[in-house]
Structure 1
Amino acid sequence: MDYIYAFLVGGAICALVQVLMEKTKLMPGRIMVILVCGGAVLGALGLYEPFKEFAGAGASVPLLGFGNVLWQGVKEAIDKDGFMGIYMGGFTASAVGISAALVFSYLASLVFQPKMKG
């Protein structure tokens, strides 16, 4: 059932984003910011962890999960380093994911040889 819940929740998040893109004048970048901020707010309110336990990867993979990771990193860094944790926590918590995205994007560009539209 875990796979089904992940599929349904992840699909619902994607469908909601698609509705926002089609029915509003919001640009994709703004929708992504809304998702990241939403994940951080849900984490701060303590609502994200129960949601993630129910939905699994359906909740942790989309941008909501990235926002929650940033929030968790900031929270832990503030507990450890005080005020400076506000600036360090998000970078520390998300460094591995961002680095992997950069490395794999570069490797994909070598394999597929992208070209500029002209």
Structure 2
Amino acid sequence: MEQIGMAFLIGGLICLAVQLVIDLTPVTLTAGHVMVGLVTGGAVLSALGWYEPLVQLAGAGATVPLSGFGHALAQGAMRSVDERGLLGALSGGIEATAVGVATAVIFGYTMAVLFDPKPKR
């Protein structure tokens, strides 16, 4: 039960930080800017060794946000570099996140077939 509370707290703090960046940045940020920032931030924090303790503390509260995807990419690339050398930097992140990406594509396609998506007006 204690880790569930930490997951909600840490996940909420990540969301709060992102919302503050969106609200307090003087330029208009698109969803793409925010998403790329989260993935890049997670990868950088992971490379510095600062994201893994957050994952150990909060579990899904740190891995579910997009920063967790960046963390998974960085960890996969670093692990693959240790195993295969420099070429692993190009393949490790993709291998580490392939299941999640494939699942997102399959579910996204399924929802588009089952429901009638309409463009935003």
Match of 2:52 among 49, 53, 67: 49
Deviation by residue 1:13-38 (Cα, 9 ceiling, x = unmatched): 11221222222223221222121111
Quick check: 1:93 aligned with 2:93?
no
Structure 1: how far apart are the matches of 2:120 and 2:83?
48
Alignment of 1:1-118 (within 5 A): 1-24=2-25, 25=27, 26-117=29-120
Task: Kindly state the Cα deviation for residue 86 of structure 1 after the two structures are TM-superposed.
Answer: 1.3
Structure 2: how far apart are the matches of 1:20 and 1:48?
19
Deviation by residue 1:71-106 (Cα, 9 ceiling, x = unmatched): 111111111111111111111111111000000011
1:93 is matched by which residue type in structure 2? A
- Helix, strand or coil for the counterpart of 1:83? coil
Unaligned runs of 5+ in 1: none
> Normalization by structure 2: what TM-score?
0.89
1:74 touches 1:90 (CA, 8 Å); kept in 2? yes
Task: Kindly state the Cα deviation for residue 66 of structure 1 after the two structures are TM-superposed.
Answer: 0.5
The RMSD of aligned alpha carbons is: 1.4
Unaligned runs of 5+ in 2: none
1:18 is matched by which residue type in structure 2? Q
